[in-house]
């Protein structure tokens, strides 16, 4: 799916999506070329959406998951480089 397809199918909702094909452009923006059908939709509950995201991410950290609202024209995901030490 494309982001526009997700927005049409799930208007004005929070969705948990997974990027199937994506890359980072020169502006550090993550471009989602292909998105799997939403794993879950949430009417108006960002905390519930983030909780579901965390559960899935904990089990499978290599999946590229995002929680986004379909009112966005573009996903607008900016990749930030993590510089530091994890404990």
**How do residues 58-74 score in pLDDT, each as one tens digit?**
999 999 999 999 999 99
d(CA 58, CA 7): 27
Instruction: Give the tens place of pLDDT for each residue, 28-43.
Output: 999 999 999 999 999 8
Vertex 77: Cα angle to 6 and 74 (nearest 5): 40
What is the per-residue pLDDT for 83?
A: 77
What is the per-residue pLDDT for 87?
A: 67
Ramachandran category for residue 70: left, alpha or beta (phi over 0 → left; psi -120 to 50 → alpha):
alpha
Question: Is 0.95 surpassed by the pTM of this model?
Answer: no
């Amino acid at each position: 799916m494309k982001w526009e397809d997700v927005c049409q199918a799930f208007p004005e909702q929070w969705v948990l999506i997974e990027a199937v094909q994506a890359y980072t452009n020169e502006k550090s923006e993550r471009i989602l070329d292909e998105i799997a059908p939403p794993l879950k939709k949430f009417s108006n509950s960002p905390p519930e959406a983030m909780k579901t995201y965390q559960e899935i991410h904990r089990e499978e950290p290599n999946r590229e998951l995002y929680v986004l609202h379909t009112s966005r024209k573009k996903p607008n995901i900016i990749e930030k480089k993590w510089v530091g030490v994890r404990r």
